[in-house]
Structure 1
């Protein structure tokens, strides 16, 4: 049985968690608008922009698989395949057969895509400075570590909820 003072602490925690969740919803909404704007500047859709950004992030020079992109973005691999074909038609991506396994394609940004992204870099830097004003590198590192922990725990909580363990 909970004591009255413990219930108050639990209510405060619940209120803080709810506020955190709504802040994340707001940030997500703003980031969607920002991604849409970047995509519009390049003449592509927001999901296509995110695919380009994911490839840019995870490619280490040999290209990346569609599955790796899908995992990074938490989307279905078939959607990535469909969209990367469209991005290839626009000359933003090249898709070549993997040297390791001919069943898979390795996807890379083209020089044209890299140039388009580079053209946006000063605006992206200014945007980042605005978004993260008041946070130094150490604070941002601390925040990123805490968010990574929350993301991991959220995944676990989601799995538990889906199997009825919560």
Structure 2
């Protein structure tokens, strides 16, 4: 674990979990740290991804996540609104939104789409049905314990990676 007492805004961290292969270790870019009003515990806000998997999610880490072990990997990229405004606009991205469609098969995802009764954690794989063969990938969601298919044709915008 890093010698700092907690995550520091403007720094990038890599989980030091020795049981995970390097390409599956979480990376965290700390944007801000605040104190939770009810518990008085520090909370770090930022963006997380897996080293070998494209795509980022917004996250908040508490002290228990810090104590799991993180190594300081250096300064985080400037993701401020001023930096985004100064960047050339290629017209292909929606500001503040990035959904990489390539989720590797077997990845743990959280479904939060329009079917509220099914919200939860699943293993995903690219949907094999003919309806999903063209355009952006859609996903088949499987129960984490039984591996039974639960939902198919799930759009990328309905799932997020779990760290």
| TM-score, normalised with respect to structure 1 | 0.22
- Structure exhibiting the larger radius of gyration computed from Cα positions: 1
| TM-score, normalised with respect to structure 2 | 0.22
Counting helix residues as a fraction of each chain, which structure ranks higher?
Answer: 1
Counting strand residues as a fraction of each chain, which structure ranks higher?
Answer: 2
